[in-house]
């Protein structure tokens, strides 16, 4: 365990030395919150019962988690492989699983730092209300989302051979999904009927919706009840199920195809 925490601390130090990574993971969600709130005005959104900040704060907190656990984890791991670091790790006393778990632990710390900063900014600057009895459910959703997207990040690293292709793949997948997963586009916006159907197939929308509902008084309950037919009960269980399926599947693919060297298997 000491080796795990020491390596995780080392990965956090490496992150702190990468200004570009810090911008996209930490600063960009905060900037987007400020820009979108100013752009649309912090007024009540018609048809939702929420003001702009109350909607975008949890949405962009989720976006920060995904940028850390999916994009940054995938790109940084692929870069380490390109530089031969992963190959050299295999020749050290550190077990490979410890190294991978340390990277995931480090990005999880980064992800939750981003999440807390976004929510704190929303609460202190824009008066976003935190529904305290839903905090345990929100934390469980955040943990499940972080692990799911960490597994997906490792899967992308396993399937693509260079950091350039990994970066292209993560950008090409996460940005379009963000627009159909209630991250940037509000759910009452007029869009094609197929967009939420497609969005529900992927874990990002379930992560986003479950976390956003923890901040929405239109839903009842603390999050651990079964969903009802009327759709007014706040339930994280179906969303956790979808994220668990994606995470387990991605972890299996990553374990099967991950390569520690740049050469093909």
Angle among Cα 194, 182, 71 to the nearest 5 degrees reads: 105
CA distance 105 to 258: 18
84 by DSSP, 3-state: which?
coil
pLDDT value of residue 81: 94
pLDDT value of residue 197: 87
Q: What is the pLDDT along the chain (265 residues), one digit of tens a residue?
A: 789 999 999 999 999 999 999 999 999 999 999 999 988 888 887 767 788 899 999 999 999 999 999 999 999 999 999 999 999 998 888 999 999 999 999 999 999 999 999 999 999 999 999 999 999 999 999 999 999 999 999 999 999 989 999 999 999 999 999 999 989 887 666 667 788 889 999 999 999 999 999 999 888 888 988 887 677 889 999 999 999 999 999 999 999 999 998 755 4
* Residue with tokens 């752009």, as numbered in its chain: 39
Considering only CA atoms, give the Rg of the chain. Answer: 19
232 by DSSP, 3-state: which?
coil
* Residue with tokens 């986003």, as numbered in its chain: 208
């Amino acid at each position: 365990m000491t080796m795990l925490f020491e390596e995780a601390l080392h990965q956090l130090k490496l992150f702190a030395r990468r200004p570009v990574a810090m911008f996209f993971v930490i600063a960009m969600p905060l900037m987007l919150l400020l820009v979108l709130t100013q752009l649309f005005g912090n007024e009540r959104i018609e048809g939702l019962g929420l003001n702009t900040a109350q909607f975008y704060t949890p949405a962009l907190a989720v976006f920060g988690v995904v940028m850390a656990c999916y994009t940054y984890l995938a790109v940084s791991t692929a870069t380490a492989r390109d530089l031969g670091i992963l190959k050299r790790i295999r020749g050290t006393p550190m077990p490979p699983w410890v190294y991978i778990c340390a990277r995931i632990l480090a990005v999880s710390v980064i992800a939750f730092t981003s999440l807390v900063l976004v929510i704190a900014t929303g609460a202190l600057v824009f008066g976003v209300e935190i529904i305290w009895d839903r905090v345990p459910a929100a934390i469980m959703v955040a943990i499940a989302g972080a692990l799911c997207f960490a597994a997906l990040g490792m899967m992308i690293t396993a399937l693509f051979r260079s950091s350039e292709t990994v970066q292209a793949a993560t950008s090409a997948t996460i940005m379009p999904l963000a627009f159909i997963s209630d991250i940037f586009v509000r759910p009452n916006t007029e869009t094609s009927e197929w967009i939420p159907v497609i969005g529900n197939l992927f874990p990002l929308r379930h992560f986003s919706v479950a976390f956003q509902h923890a901040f929405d008084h239109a839903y009842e309950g603390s999050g651990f009840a079964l969903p009802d037919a009327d759709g007014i009960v706040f339930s994280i269980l179906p969303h956790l199920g979808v994220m668990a399926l994606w995470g387990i599947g991605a972890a299996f693919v990553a374990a099967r195809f991950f390569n520690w060297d740049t050469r093909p298997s």
